[in-house]
Structure 1
Amino acid sequence: MEEQLYEIIKKVYDKNNRNLFTFLTGAGISADSGIPTYRGIDGIWIKGTQFHKPEEFGTYKYFKEHPEEVWQYSLFRKKMFENAKPNESHREIVEIENLLEDKFHLITQNIDNLHRRAGTKRIYEIHGNNREIKCSNGCREIVNLPDEIKGKDIDEDLTANDIELLKCKECGSWMRPNILWFDERYDEKTNKRFSALKIAKNSGILFIAGTSGATNLPIAIAETTLKYGGTIVDINTEDNLFTKLIKDKKNKIIIRGTSTETLKTIKEIFKNIC
């Protein structure tokens, strides 16, 4: 595996075009930080909340009907994310970025901010993030969640001050988390859809780590990379939808193991090449 990785990485690195090295990460990359995955056995979307299935709770429709409840859960996750620390996989990716500089891009499905806290700069958060908000009525630009609003325990209610700060100053509607819900479509403004696909088009290698490919933009990113001659490196502990996509393709490497150890190997290869 290591020899095969070295050969394809060296080949792409020496190219004059379509020579980007892009990393696509999902919730699995943050599991070692103590954040549950979404679709693993103990995942957020498998277990849901105490009272609802995720497909109904994680929607714009549900937010419009129950904004305080959704915000209560969002602030619970805010506390969980803030208490977590970037793990070794996050740090390995930062070191790879430092080696590759402009040839590096990270596309992440994660909203937990751990990649940024680890130090990654060239990052596209295609599912949004938990640190920003926008008007649910669409009248305001994306802004940071006010510092006065703190993370909460799962059974902790919003305060009157929280509610005031979470209302749009222009129209009075509720502000909402700047994340992608189940009943919404990817766009450029929030999700960097077209930017991500452009990067995929110019990627010589797409490294996929910690995501099963259960949403359509990540799959489209992989399909675009393949369409323009790039190689997919699938780094996961088990087969997934990306595996199904690439099983009959020549330009693929499938690695079954932890992301941390594989990323270390990839980093060492780049050290020898850069």
Structure 2
Amino acid sequence: MENQLENIIQQVWHKEKRNLFTFLTGAGISSDSGIPTYRGIDGIWVKGTQFHKPEEFGTLRYFRQHPEEVLQYSLFRKKMFENAFPNQSHYDLADIETQLQDRFHLITQNIDNLHRRSGNQRIYEIHGNNREIKCSNGCKEILELPTEIKGKNLDEDLTDHDKELLTCTQCGHWMRPNILWFDEYYDEKTNKKFSALKIAKNSGVLFIVGTSGATSLPIAIAETALKYGAFIIDINTEDNNFTDLIRNKKNALIIREKSTEVLKVIKTIIEKTVS
């Protein structure tokens, strides 16, 4: 595995065009930080949702029917994220960005802010993030979540002041988390759809870390990278939707190990290559 990685990294480093090092990450990379993945038995969509199915609870339709419940749960997640800390995988990716500079790009499905807290800057958050809010009625502006709004325990309701701060000053509708829900489409403003696909097109290698490819844009990113000649490296503990895409492709590498161990190897190879 190490020799294959070294060969790929050196090839990409010496390319003149389509030579970006792109990392696509998902919930698996944050599991060592104590943040549950989405669809497991103890998944983030199960705890605190009154046991609604993800496809029901995580929708704009449900939010319009039960806005306070969804906002309270969003603040429960806010507290969960704030109490978590970046793990070694996050820090290794920050170190890799330091080495590669503008040839590094990170596309993440995670909304937990741990990549940013570990030091990464070239980040494309394709599922949005939990730091921001926007009007549920479609007013254009995206705002930072006011600092006065604190994270919640599961049994804490919104305060009157919370409700005031979570009301759109332009139209009076509820503000909502700036994240992608199941009944919504990827766009550029919230999800950086076209920017992410452009990066994929110009990638020399796409590392897929801790994500199964259960949604459409991550798969489209991998398909685009593959179409334009990138190496695809699938780093997950189990086979997934990306595996089906790249199986038997000559410029693909499938690694079934924990991301923590593999990223450590990748970081060492990159440090040696660029020095």
The TM-score range, normalised by the shorter chain, is over 0.9
Q: Percent of aligned pairs with the same residue?
A: 75
What secondary structure does 1:225 align onto? helix
Q: Counterpart amino acid of 1:61?
A: R
Q: Counterpart amino acid of 1:182?
A: F
The RMSD of aligned alpha carbons is 1.0
What does 1:17-96 correspond to in 2, within 5 Å?
17-45=17-45, 49-96=49-96
Shift of 1:45: 3.8
Q: Answer yes or no: is 1:157 the counterpart of 2:186.
A: no
Distance 1:107 1:222, change over 3 A: same
**Which residue matches 1:236?**
236
CA contact (8 A) 2:22 2:205 kept: yes
CA contact (8 A) 2:48 2:154 kept: no
Q: Distance in 1 between matches of 2:260 and 2:78?
A: 25
What secondary structure does 2:224 align onto? helix
Shift of 1:51: 3.7
Q: Distance in 2 between matches of 1:93 and 1:170?
A: 40
Answer with 153-162 or 49-58: which moved more. Answer: 49-58
CA contact (8 A) 1:48 1:54 kept: no
Q: Distance in 2 between matches of 1:115 and 1:133?
A: 19
Shift of 1:139: 1.5
Q: Counterpart amino acid of 1:188?
A: E
TM-score between both structures, scaled by the size of structure 1: 0.98
What secondary structure does 1:63 align onto? helix
Q: Counterpart amino acid of 2:270?
A: F
Q: Answer yes or no: is 1:212 the counterpart of 2:212.
A: yes
CA contact (8 A) 2:18 2:203 kept: yes
CA contact (8 A) 2:234 2:243 kept: yes
What does 1:144-223 correspond to in 2, within 5 Å?
144-223=144-223
TM-score between both structures, scaled by the size of structure 2: 0.98
Q: Counterpart amino acid of 1:193?
A: K
What secondary structure does 1:6 align onto? helix
CA contact (8 A) 1:128 1:180 kept: yes
**Which residue matches 1:258?**
258
CA contact (8 A) 2:213 2:240 kept: yes
CA contact (8 A) 1:99 1:270 kept: yes
Shift of 1:41: 4.1
Q: Deviations over 1:210-257 (max 9, x none)?
A: 100000000000000000000110000111110111112111111111
Q: Deviations over 1:178-200 (max 9, x none)?
A: 00000000000000000000000
What secondary structure does 1:163 align onto? helix
CA contact (8 A) 2:48 2:73 kept: no
Q: Distance in 2 between matches of 1:215 and 1:43?
A: 17
Q: Distance in 2 between matches of 1:133 and 1:222?
A: 29
Structure 2: stretches of 5+ with no match in the other structure? none
Could you list the runs of 4 or more consecutive aligned residues of structure 1 that deviate by over 6 angstroms after TM superposition? none
Q: Distance in 2 between matches of 1:175 and 1:258?
A: 38
Shift of 1:80: 0.2
Structure 1: stretches of 5+ with no match in the other structure? none
Shift of 1:39: 2.5
